[in-house]
Amino acid sequence: MIWSNFIFLSFSLLWLGVYARGDAVDYKPTSNLVDDLLYSIAKATDCVSCHGLLISLKATAHLGDDKFVNALISICKTLKIQDQDVCEGIFLGPGPIIAHDLRSIPATGETSNRFCNAMMGVCKQPPVKNYTVPFPKPELSSLVVKRTRPSRRPPFQVTHFSDIHIDRDYAINSEANCTKPLCCRAFEDQTDPITIPAGPMGNHRCDSPTRLAESLFQAIDATNSAFAIFTGDIVPGAVWLVNETEVEKDFATFLSLTGSSKIPIYPALGNHEVAPVNSYPRNTSTGYEDEAQWVYDMASEGWMKWIGSPAANQVVHHSGSYSLLVPETKLRIISLNTGFWYKVNFWLYDSTESQPDPNGLLSFMVSQLQEAEDAGERVWIMGHMPMGGGDVFHDQSNYYDQVIQRYRRTIVGQFFGHTHADEFQLAYSNYSYQTKDTATSMSWIAPALTPRSGNPAFKVYDVDPDTYEVMDMKVYSSDLSESGYQENPTWTLLYSARDLYGPLIPGGLDTSSAFTPGFWHQVTEVFEKNDTAYRVYDLYKRRNGGQCSAYEECKERTICGVRAARSENNCALLQRGFGFGRTVMGEKGTVADRGYAYEQEQCESVTISDVLVGMVEGVGEMVFGMVSDLFSKLVGE
C-alpha cells in the first residue's frame, strides 16, 4: 500500500502541472491560483474532481509510459516526498500499468469511479451488480453431515502463520530510524551516524530478519502440529526495490528456511508475491495476460513437495489456486489467490466490461466444493486477503459470499492473513438480521510475523478429528520489549481463545462444543456491553501495537467489521488516499486533522508507517514554498 500513497499525492500534483501547461484550461497560472488549486485538491472528496484529474492523467498517459512515469518521478523528487531512490523505484513498476488503465477506460463512468475509490478514496464503490453465481446442484435441505457434533477423540493441531515478510537484506546495526518507508538495511545514501541500531531479531520499523523467521519455524515444529497453513506474503515491504528477481530470491529463501520442517505446509499466494506488488493481470488483459505466469510456475514447483502434483498443476492453470485432500483425512483445503478481488491490483481497471469472476476463480472454488459435498468431505477455504475488508471489491466479495452460503454445511472454516492483525470475521445468512442463529461461517485471520506492525505472532488450532471444526485457538507471541529477545526470542502462549472467551457467553461454552459462528456472534455481543472484554480483544488484535484514541467510534466500527465477512456490510471509512486518511490543508499549508485519521486507519488494522505520516506532514509544510518553482519549470517546457 506504500506506493499507492505516493502515486495519489503525485497524481494530485501532476494535475497541477498539466493544468499549468494549459492542457486542461487556457489560463496562465498565478501564485493565487496555485494556492487555490492546492486547497481544492486537499478538499477534493467527490467524484467530479477525481474525474477531472483523470482527464489530465489520460492526456499524460497517451504521451507514453516513459513520459508518464518520469513525470511522477520528477514530481516526487522535486517535492522531496521521499528519498531519490524511493521516488524512482516506487513508480517504475506500477506506473506503466496505471498508464495502460488510463488509456483503456474513459475518465467518467463506473470503472473510473472504482479507480478513484481505490486510488483517491473520493468515490464510493458502486452498488453491487446483480449476479447470481451458477451452482451445478441446488442445496439439498436433507444434506446431512457425517458428524454434527465434535467427537470425544483428542483434537489434532494445525499451525496458521502469515505475512512473514522476510528481509534478506536486513543488516544488523544498520539504521532502524531511517528516512525510508522500511529501515534496517545498509542503504548507500544513509551516511549519518546510526541513532538506533537494528538488533539481530528485528525492530518495529523493519521487516523480519532471516534469523527471526528461523526462530518462527523452530517454534512451529515444537507445536507438534499435523500440518501448517501459510496465508501469504513472503516478500518484504521495500516495494520500490522489488522486481521479479528479488521475488524469486525471497521465495527461494522461504523454501530453504522451511526445508527441514517436520510437517507439510499448505500455502496461499499473497499480494507481495508478484512484481510489481499486487499486480495479477486478468486473462482478458490482451497482451499482458501472462505477466504473472512466472509466479504461478514458481509456486507450483516450490510447493509441490507439500501439495503434490495434481494440486501443483492446478496452481499453474488456475492463477495460483489449488485444492487438495489432506492425507488420511476427510478434510479438503481450497487455497485461493485473492489478488483478483483486491482493489489496488491495478490490472483490474483496464476494461469497462463487467467481469464478475476474473480468471474463473469462483468457478474453480465452486467445482471443488461440489466435489467435496458429493464425497462427504469437510472444507477449509484459505487465501491471503479476508473478504470483509475495505480493500475488497464489493462485487466479488458478494459473489464469494453466495458461494459460502450455498456450501455452508460443507465449509467448516476460512483462514486468511493480510491485515497483520489477530482478528476474525463472520458471515451471515441475513446481514440485515445478525444473530447467533443467522451466523453461518467464521473467518480466522492470523497475525503477522513481521515486527513492523506489532509483536511477532502465530496461531495454533485444536481441530476435531471427525468434524474438522476448531475446538480452540491459541496464539503464541514473542515480545520485542523483553530482555533477551534480540539474542533468542521466546515464543510463549499469549492466550487460549476457549479460556479467554468461552466463559463470557451466557452459560459458558461447553467443553465438548466447537467454536461455531453462533458462538463468535455471542462474543461480539459481549464486546458491545463489556468494555474490559473488548479492550482485551483490541489489544491482542493489534499485537500490543498501540490503541485507538477515538474509543467509542473505534469500538463500534471494529465490531461492525467483525460482523462483515461481506465487504459491502463493513463500516470501513471512505478516506482520501489509501493510507492518508482525510488530509486537510490548514493555515500556512500545514496538515490539519491528520492524527485523527491516522488513528482511525489503525483501528481498521491498516498499517501506516511513521514514515508515511511524516511524508504527508512534510509535504503540507513545504508544498506552498516549492510548488511555484515546479510550476515555473512545467510552464517553461
Binding-site positions for Zn(2+) read 163, 165, 233, 271, 384, 418, 420
573 burial (CB, 10 Å; 0-12 / 13-18 / 19+) is middle
CA-nearest of 320, 266, 321, 323 to 298 is 320
Instruction: Give the C-alpha separation, 569 to 382, whole Å.
Output: 21
List residues forming the annotated binding site: 163, 165, 233, 271, 384, 418, 420
Q: What angle do CA 53, 54, 56 make, to 5 degrees?
A: 70
Instruction: Give the C-alpha separation, 160 to 164, whole Å.
Output: 12
Omega cis (within 30) before 193: no
**In contact, 249 and 166? CB cutoff 8 Å:** no
| Helix boundaries (H) for 194-332 | 210-221, 244-257, 293-317
**In contact, 390 and 581? CB cutoff 8 Å:** no
Helix-then-strand count for the chain, H and E:
18, 16
Three-class SS of residue 35? helix
DSSP label at residue 453: G
CA-nearest of 157, 170, 164 to 457 is 164
Q: What angle do CA 453, 441, 118 make, to 5 degrees?
A: 50
Instruction: Give the C-alpha separation, 237 to 242, whole Å.
Output: 9
Phi, psi (degrees; rounded to nearest 5) at 442: -120, 130
Q: What angle do CA 221, 225, 230 make, to 5 degrees?
A: 80
Instruction: Give the C-alpha separation, 166 to 211, whole Å.
Output: 9
Q: What are the percentages of helix, strand and coil residues in the chain, rounded to 5? A: 45, 15, 45
Instruction: Give the C-alpha separation, 4 to 577, whole Å.
Output: 8
Q: At what angle do helices 31-42 and 2-21 cross, to 10 degrees?
A: 150
Tell me the torsion sign for CA atoms 454, 455, 456, 459.
negative
Neighbour tally for 46: CB within 10 Å: 11
Return the half-sphere exposure (C-beta side, CA atoms, 13 A cut-off) of residue 478: 27
- Chain-centroid distance, C-alpha 36: 35
CA-nearest of 68, 66, 78 to 622 is 78
**In contact, 242 and 281? CB cutoff 8 Å:** no
**In contact, 447 and 422? CB cutoff 8 Å:** yes
CA-nearest of 354, 346, 347 to 109 is 354
